[in-house]
């Protein structure tokens, strides 16, 4: 009964209700504007809501999160410019549908199945997170070290570019996380005699630079590439049997999206691509070939990237490891308010968890309502000149970085990280992977590595602990398998197995 009361708080508290609604609506428009990312928007909100109470701040950010991921497909469908990386897969069939006069149908389908995918993600979050948290309480320092190491390996493996670039981004993040004072020995690392670096690099300032300013600089290179105006026809609402026809597909890719989102560093982009690939393989008789306006080609990626949000919050809340860049910002919000994400958060602040679940459900409801209401407005929003938009965002980013500590040094740090992020994007290195590796290294590895092998423990006992403890053994095997999966032998073995199954 108490859980139900906590779950209903966002529905009964008018302030939280309005903040979720406003955040969802704002997120839809932010995601629909090419050049504005949901990560940048949530990072800005973190600085703007610095002095707020925790629940209102999280309610607003959750609304922007869900709305922004969904809104990115608006521009992808209408002008073939994905508003977010998670919408790239949607543009493959969404834009051809709009060229065939089915823009309204494409917008309707993505709205319905984004809602379904988001709800599936929240349901899995509500059921799986308490189980994972109760299990994670048994983690020793050695297990946290292994978990963080596994997360870093996944960050490198799941890079959209080459494996080398993914590992380089993760390695750079580790170096950034090492800056400052050693929490175990008390020595300084990479400070070069600077007292300002003794406390390390401010995680929030790095986020603003890597995701905010870098995106502004990157978009300035693309000012001449404006989308062509597109006339939106009246929305065509298909019959219910049309919706039920694709319901099994949406459920499958939603589960796939949750599982993908729960992997550190994966996020909605990879979930959408995997969902699109599954739809392409499993749909026997599409209305059109994929890539030419197939209905399943817009349904699958939208359900997948929306469900990935719930998946990304599972490791964030239960293990203290962000599932993607946005959940890393949520961790920053929890730290600001004195909370430590991880197993103890679920036991000591269970009310916070259920309020977040309720806010997520509410955000999906508003996503459905607003998404169907504002279709005719999107054509005006997606054609806002970036010459006007980018300077406004730059000013907000600078003000946000200064407002964190009222220090110009933070602004310089933000600009420096902005340049780093810009050059990484130009050369196809993952900024998000650098950020996630920096966080995992700072808050997981460094706080556990110094404690897993005390000086009084013999080396043989230390090594045997990785194989005698069940949790440590499972994590060690996962790490070894992750490394083995990158070898040519594994890839050739996988091809042979699939070839035998096809001929059987």
What region does 289 belong to: left with phi over 0, alpha with psi -120 to 50, or beta? beta
Beta bridge partners of 189: 180
pLDDT tens, N- to C-terminus, the chain (504 residues): 677 887 888 888 888 999 999 999 999 888 877 556 787 788 888 877 777 888 888 899 999 999 988 888 887 787 666 666 677 778 878 888 877 777 778 888 889 999 999 999 999 888 887 776 566 556 666 776 776 676 666 655 545 456 677 677 777 777 777 776 665 556 666 666 666 666 667 766 776 787 678 877 877 776 655 544 444 455 556 677 778 888 998 899 999 888 878 776 666 777 887 788 788 878 877 777 787 788 888 999 899 989 999 888 888 888 777 777 788 888 888 887 777 777 777 777 767 888 888 999 999 999 999 988 876 676 555 456 667 767 877 887 787 678 667 778 788 888 988 898 888 878 877 676 676 666 555 545 544 445 555 554 555 566 666 777 787 888 888 788 877 877 777 767 767 765 665 555
C-alpha to C-alpha distances, 40 to 78, 82, 167, 337, 433, nearest whole angstrom: 22, 15, 24, 21, 15
Residues 61/46, Cβ–Cβ less than 8 Å: yes
Going 78 to 38 to 179 to 160, the CA torsion angle's sign is negative
Q: What is the pLDDT of residues 417-448, one digit of tens each?
A: 889 888 887 887 767 667 666 655 554 554 44
Beta bridge partners of 188: 181
Instruction: Choose among 324, 352, 358, 355: nearest CA to 340.
Output: 352
C-alpha to C-alpha distances, 400 to 141, 207, 264, 392, 405, nearest whole angstrom: 35, 11, 27, 12, 10
Residues 69/32, Cβ–Cβ less than 8 Å: no
Residue 278: CB atoms within 10 Å: 19
Give DSSP secondary structure letters for 290-319.
TTS--THHHHHHHHHHHHHHHHHHHHHHHH
Residues 256/305, Cβ–Cβ less than 8 Å: no
Can you tell me the distance from the alpha carbon of 74 to that of 83, in angstroms, rounded to the nearest whole number? 7
Can you tell me the distance from the alpha carbon of 68 to that of 35, in angstroms, rounded to the nearest whole number? 12
This model's pTM is above 0.85: no
Can you tell me the distance from the alpha carbon of 79 to that of 75, in angstroms, rounded to the nearest whole number? 5
Residue linked to tokens 């939106």: 232
Can you tell me the distance from the alpha carbon of 374 to that of 27, in angstroms, rounded to the nearest whole number? 13
Can you tell me the distance from the alpha carbon of 89 to that of 91, in angstroms, rounded to the nearest whole number? 5
Q: Which pLDDT score, from 0 to 100, does residue 230 have?
A: 45
Residues 165/156, Cβ–Cβ less than 8 Å: no
Half-sphere exposure for 343 (CA within 13 Å, toward CB): 12
Give kind and range of the element (H or E) at residue 441. Answer: none
Q: Which pLDDT score, from 0 to 100, does residue 185 have?
A: 58
- Where helices occur in 137-162 by DSSP H, the ranges are 141-157
Give DSSP secondary structure letters for 410-423.
HHHHHHHHHHHHHH
What region does 259 belong to: left with phi over 0, alpha with psi -120 to 50, or beta? alpha
Can you tell me the distance from the alpha carbon of 125 to that of 252, in angstroms, rounded to the nearest whole number? 16
- Where helices occur in 85-210 by DSSP H, the ranges are 88-99, 103-136, 141-157, 163-178, 203-207
Can you tell me the distance from the alpha carbon of 214 to that of 432, in angstroms, rounded to the nearest whole number? 12
Q: Which pLDDT score, from 0 to 100, does residue 457 have?
A: 52
Q: Which residues contact 298 (CB under 8 A, 6 or more apart)?
A: 73, 77, 90, 93, 94, 97, 106, 109, 110
Residue linked to tokens 């130009």: 426
Going 59 to 357 to 88 to 29, the CA torsion angle's sign is negative
Can you tell me the distance from the alpha carbon of 115 to that of 132, in angstroms, rounded to the nearest whole number? 25
Q: Which pLDDT score, from 0 to 100, does residue 443 have?
A: 46
Packed helices 296-319 and 54-79: angle between N→C axes, nearest 10 degrees: 160
Residue 298, token pair as written in the block: 């817009």
Residues 258/306, Cβ–Cβ less than 8 Å: no
Q: Which pLDDT score, from 0 to 100, does residue 433 have?
A: 66
Residues 341/331, Cβ–Cβ less than 8 Å: yes
């Amino acid at each position: 009964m108490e859980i139900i009361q906590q779950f209903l708080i966002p529905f009964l508290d008018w302030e939280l209700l309005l903040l979720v609604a406003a955040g969802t609506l704002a997120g839809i428009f932010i995601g629909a504007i090419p050049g504005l990312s949901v990560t940048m928007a949530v990072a800005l909100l973190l600085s703007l809501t610095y002095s707020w109470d925790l629940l209102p701040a999280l309610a607003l950010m959750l609304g922007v999160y869900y709305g922004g991921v969904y809104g990115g497909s608006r521009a992808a469908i209408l002008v073939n410019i994905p508003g977010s990386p998670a919408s790239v897969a949607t543009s493959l069939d969404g834009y051809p549908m709009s060229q065939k006069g089915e823009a309204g149908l494409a917008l309707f389908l993505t709205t319905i199945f984004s809602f379904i995918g988001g709800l599936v993600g929240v349901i899995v979050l509500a059921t799986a997170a308490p189980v994972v948290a109760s299990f994670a309480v048994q983690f020793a320092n050695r297990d946290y070290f292994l978990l963080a190491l596994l997360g870093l390996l996944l960050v490198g493996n799941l890079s959209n570019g080459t494996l080398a670039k993914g590992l380089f981004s993760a390695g750079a993040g580790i170096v950034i996380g090492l800056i400052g004072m050693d929490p175990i020995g008390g020595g300084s690392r990479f400070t070069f005699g600077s007292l300002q670096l003794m406390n390390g690099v401010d995680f929030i300032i790095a986020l603003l630079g890597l995701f905010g300013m870098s995106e502004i600089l990157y978009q300035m290179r693309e000012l001449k590439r404006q989308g062509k105006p597109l006339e939106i026809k009246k929305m065509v609402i298909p019959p219910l049997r049309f919706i039920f026809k694709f319901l099994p597909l949406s459920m499958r890719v939603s589960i796939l999206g949750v599982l993908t989102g729960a992997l550190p560093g994966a996020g909605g982009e990879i979930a959408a691509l995997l969902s699109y690939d599954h739809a392409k393989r499993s749909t026997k008789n599409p209305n059109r070939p994929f890539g030419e306006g197939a209905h399943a080609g817009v349904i699958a990626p939208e359900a997948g990237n929306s469900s990935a949000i719930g998946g990304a919050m599972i490791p964030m809340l239960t293990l203290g490891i962000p599932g993607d860049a946005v959940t890393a910002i949520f961790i920053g919000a929890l730290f600001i308010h004195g909370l430590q994400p991880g197993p103890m958060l679920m036991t000591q602040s269970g009310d916070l968890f259920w309020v977040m679940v309720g806010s997520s459900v509410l955000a999906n409801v508003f996503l459905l309502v607003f998404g169907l209401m504002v279709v005719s407005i999107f054509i005006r929003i997606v054609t806002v000149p970036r010459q006007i938009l980018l300077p406004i965002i730059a000013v907000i980013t600078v003000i946000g970085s200064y407002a964190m500590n009222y220090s110009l040094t933070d602004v310089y740090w933000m600009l420096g990280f902005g340049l780093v992020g810009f050059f990484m994007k130009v050369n196809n290195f993952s900024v998000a992977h650098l950020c996630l590796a920096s966080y995992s290294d700072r808050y997981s590895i460094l706080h556990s590595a110094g404690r897993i092998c005390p000086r009084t423990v013999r080396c043989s006992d230390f090594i045997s602990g990785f194989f005698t403890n069940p949790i440590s053994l499972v994590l060690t095997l996962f790490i070894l398998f992750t490394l083995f999966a990158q070898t040519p032998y594994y890839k050739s073995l996988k091809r042979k197995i699939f070839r035998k199954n096809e001929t059987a």
